[in-house]
Amino acid sequence: MKSTTTTITVTAGRRYDYVDVTDDLRRAIKDSGVTDGAAIAFCAHTTCALLINEWEDGAMADFRRHLTDLVPHDGVYYQHDDFQIRTQNMHDDERANGHAHVKAMLLSATSHAIPVVDGEPGFGTWQRLIFFEMDEPKDRTITFHVFGG
């Protein structure tokens, strides 16, 4: 059985931007030499996510609007951002991103397990692997673990 782990770095243009990483996944599969097996896509962060859906500007705008309505970044108290009382995990570039932690936990879209068929992700016609930034942009690491024969 073959098995390879690789990482890519992606950086969104601004908060709530999407980045299509499907071709990065395809390249990780090709480079692994696996033709039949599976791939794990893993987002190594707590305020961004990996979605599998259609890459269509309208649908992505709709999702952004609904999610920020459900979990607003303005006008709502977040204890995570209350630096008067917070003591844990404080670091130098601490930002007011409590809203993004809540969104990330609600989505629970840190990892996906994707069949590999004939050397390609076993996606349906409209499926794309999409990185979704919910915090102020910075470099983000996505890990692909591909395994199979």
Footprint of a copy of itself on this chain (CB under 8 A)? 1, 3, 5, 36-38, 40, 42, 44-46, 49, 51-59, 61-63, 66-67, 70-71, 78-82, 85-86, 88-89, 98, 101-102, 104-115, 117, 122-124, 126-127, 141, 143, 145, 147-149
The span from the CA of 113 to the CA of 95, in Å, is 31
The span from the CA of 144 to the CA of 132, in Å, is 16
Residue 53 CB, nearest distance to a copy of itself (Å)?
5
Residue 26 CB, nearest distance to a copy of itself (Å)?
16
Residue 92 burial (10 A CB sphere; 0-12, 13-18, 19+) = exposed
13 vs 149, beta carbon nearer a copy of itself: 149
**Helices and strands in the chain, H and E counts:** 3, 8
CA torsion, ordered 47, 128, 142, 81, to nearest 10 deg: 0
Residue 17 CB, nearest distance to a copy of itself (Å)?
15
Residue 92 CB, nearest distance to a copy of itself (Å)?
13
